[in-house]
Amino acid sequence: MSVNDLVGMAERHRAPIIASTYNEPLITSEEAVEIFRVAKARGLKTAYISNGNGTPEVLEYLKPWVDLYKVDLEGFNDTNCRKLGGVLGNVLETIKLLVKKQFWVEIVTLIVPGFNNSDAELAQIAEFLASVSTDMPWHVTAFHQDYKMRDHANTAASTLFRAADIGKSTGLRSVYAGNIGRPP
């Protein structure tokens, strides 16, 4: 599909945003910029949905073309992050750089019981985010068993609300408990 076809499809479906996601978009930044140039010229917003392994160079390259940047911060334990293929320090540095470079940044933490749901770890995440910017939205979302990930329980709504309370207690202004329903 050509860039014009892709942007045209977004327009036909009245999509206000084109996002680079699914796999890590940083590995296809040149392609994303090619698409985003056309999309922005036609009035669309653009977004990256990333695991947060950006270098200063790639973030500088992307800055003129990316309106919104979402980072998955899957915990605050480097050993667990490495199990998922990441390095916690890299993700934290990327978040700091994104804020410093004045991207609109939102963080999502998928809370997995027995993996990253302790009060201590949630507080570490929230405290780090608040130290970078209390205006950065933090979305805490529920894990649901699926495919090969059936070795952890589904996240309880109470866990999300506890995480949101922890985030708010650190001074984060916008904390959202998502994808599970309303509080009782």
Domain span holding position 65: 1-72
> What span, in angstroms and rounded, lies between the C-alpha atoms of 131 and 17?
29
Q: Are 63 and 33 in contact (CB under 8 A)?
A: no
Quick check: helix, strand or coil at residue 136? coil
Which long-range contacts link 93-102 to residues 24+ away (Cβ below 8 Å)?
Answer: 94/50, 94/52, 94/53, 94/54, 94/59, 95/52, 95/71, 95/129, 95/132, 95/136, 96/132, 97/54, 97/56, 97/59, 98/54, 98/59, 98/69, 98/71, 99/132, 99/133, 99/136, 101/59, 101/60, 101/63
Ranges of residues in the chain whose predicted pLDDT is under 70: 23, 181-184
Q: Check which CATH number belongs to the domain holding 157 and give it.
A: 3.20.20.70
Neighbours of 15 (CB within 10 A): 14
- Terminal CA-to-CA distance of the chain, rounded, Å? 46
Copy the structure tokens of residue 67: 């309106």
Pair 21, 37 in one domain: yes
What is the per-residue pLDDT for 147? 82
Pair 140, 165 in one domain: yes
Comparing C-alpha atoms, which of 90, 88, 80, 115 is closest to residue 26? 90
Pair 79, 149 in one domain: yes
Pair 83, 60 in one domain: no
Pair 138, 176 in one domain: yes
What is the per-residue pLDDT for 22? 72
Pair 111, 126 in one domain: yes
Pair 57, 85 in one domain: no
Q: Give the position of tokens 């199990």.
A: 83
What is the per-residue pLDDT for 155? 94
What pLDDT digit, counting tens, does each position of 33-76 carry?
A: 999 999 999 999 999 999 898 999 999 999 999 999 999 999 99
Pair 67, 80 in one domain: no
Total domain count, the chain: 2
What is the per-residue pLDDT for 94? 96
What is the per-residue pLDDT for 184? 47
Pair 24, 91 in one domain: no
